[in-house]
Amino acid sequence: MDLLLSPEFWTALLSIVIIDLVLAGDNALVIGMAARNLPAHQQKQAIIWGTVGAIVIRALATLAVVWLLKIPGLLLAGGLILIWIALKLLIQDNGHDNMKASGTLGAAIWTIIVADTVMGLDNVIAVAGAAHGDFLLVVIGLIISVPIMVWGSTLILKLIEKYPIVIYIGSAVLAYTAASMVTSEKFLTPFFAAYPWVKWVFIVAVVVGVLLIGRMKSQQQKRLAEQS
């Protein structure tokens, strides 16, 4: 009960919710594209069962990652990967253009599960990192992500389109989570414990650096797209 009342628990849970909200948009696009050629009465079935299958696999993967991150050195590696994911989030990506719609219910469900599992790697690492080894937080985060992906997908995509700052907030949370993972690495904690100010300077530098580099790369990509 003390854990549930601690500010650390609620801060981590809020981070997981924001991560799910921002990263669900990409997966929602895959779900919608995979089911778009099905009859109307089967589209909802494909979305629900495809998402349930993807969530089960994602739950197992997240729990595995939480366990793996306890191995010395992997927390640092996970943090560095998450920094790259936070940067990628800010850069425009049209990699879904070749995503094919499926014509049968079974094929659509399978497409959603496979595509979401592959694309959900960023979500798995981010949620595992934000949970700091707390399996309860992982489970709550996954429970929250189910309705988000099934019913809130279109809303999230529209919200991100209308308010680009949502992406920056999500990216900042990912960068903060990544920096926290790096500073929590066992062989680095003695250094950061001896110099607490260095820890916070590092975290701020990572968050600001990701936002600035991501914005510059995104603008550069837009200029190249306009010229071509």
What percent of the chain is modeled with pLDDT above 70?
72
pLDDT in tens, 208-217: 999 999 888 8
- Report CA dihedral (167, 170, 181, 7) to the nearest 10 degrees: 160
**What are the phi and psi torsion angles at 38 (to 5°)?**
-80, 155
The predicted structure's pLDDT at residue 1: 46
**Average pLDDT for 177-192:** 86
Residue with tokens 């991501």: 214
- Cα–Cα distance measured from residue 159 to residue 143, given in angstroms and rounded to the nearest whole number: 22
- Cα–Cα distance measured from residue 56 to residue 61, given in angstroms and rounded to the nearest whole number: 9
Least trusted range by pLDDT, from 74-83, 88-97, 123-132, 193-202: 88-97
128 and 66 Cβ atoms separated by less than 8 Å: yes
Band (74; pLDDT cuts 50, 70, 90)? confident
